[in-house]
Amino acid sequence: MFNLIPVKANTSPIGKHKRGVGLNQVSQNIILIGMMGTGKTTVGRLVAERLGFQLLDLDAEIERMEGRTIPEMFAEEGEAYFRKAESRALHNVLAAKRLVIATGGGAVLNPDNCAAMKQGGWVAALTADAETIIERVRGDANRPLLAGDVEERVRRIMAEREDKYRFADVTIDTVGRSADEVATEILTHYRG
């Protein structure tokens, strides 16, 4: 099975919301995309807790599948290998329902992944400016693509991926907002 992370019971029943969408739609997976450091993993957990969904962090799922960490995978096999594992993991988990899926920032690089995400859930893109991202990820050794000159890497990768997150159903700026506030905004949009 997947690496599902148990979350608390729903403390905000959807039924209380007047503008809630139909039952079918509120069981639809929520998929978070966005550049590294925009808060997908952190916010995903909060959204899952509030909705009574399971959080599935795609990076954690890949690590579980592979029995090694992402930095180890990059070092031992290279990025192309990681991307294949990422794509496989994504397609597997999209078969499930009522998940909040926090993807890795590069999951959008493969157009097949983007099509599968559109098909398999409601997609929210998180954004932040380079300065905010650099501040959030500096000193974290778990992102091999940012090893070395973090500032240069973040700016370069952001430029390379500029248009890759635009297919989302909604785009949410996280700058100057707490993870909790971002989660609230996601839920407001999701419930319509």
Ligand X SMILES: O=C(O)C1=C[C@@H](OP(=O)(O)O)[C@@H](O)[C@H](O)C1
Q: Which residues are annotated as a binding site for Mg(2+)?
A: 41
Cα three-residue angle 160-84-76, rounded to 5 degrees: 90
Stretch that binds Mg ion, among 40-48, 60-68, 93-101, 108-116 (CB under 5 A): 40-48
| Interface pick for Mg ion out of 3, 41, 127, 132 (rule CB under 5 A) | 41
Q: How far is the CB of 163 from ligand ADP (least distance, A)?
A: 18
By a kind-dependent CB cut-off of 5 to 8 A, residue 182 interacts, out of ligand X, Mg ion, ligand ADP, none, with: ligand ADP
DSSP 114-155: HHHHHHHSEEEEEE--HHHHHHHHTT-TT-GGG-S-HHHHHH
- Separation of alpha carbons 107 and 84, rounded Å: 10
Per CB under 6 A, does 104 bind ligand X? yes
> Which CB, 17 or 177, lies closer to ligand ADP?
177
Residue 22 burial class via C-beta count within 10 angstroms: exposed 0-12, middle 13-18, buried 19 and up: exposed
Which stretches of the chain bind ligand ADP, using CB under 6 A? Answer: 34, 36-43, 102, 136, 174, 177-179, 182
Q: Report which secondary-structure segment, H or E, holds 157.
A: helix 150-160
Interface mask toward ligand X for 145-174; x: CB under 6 A: x-----------------------------
DSSP lists the bridge partners of residue 34 as 126
- The one-letter code for the residue type at 14 is I
Where do contacts with ligand X occur on this chain (CB under 6 A)? 36, 40-41, 59, 70, 104-106, 143-145
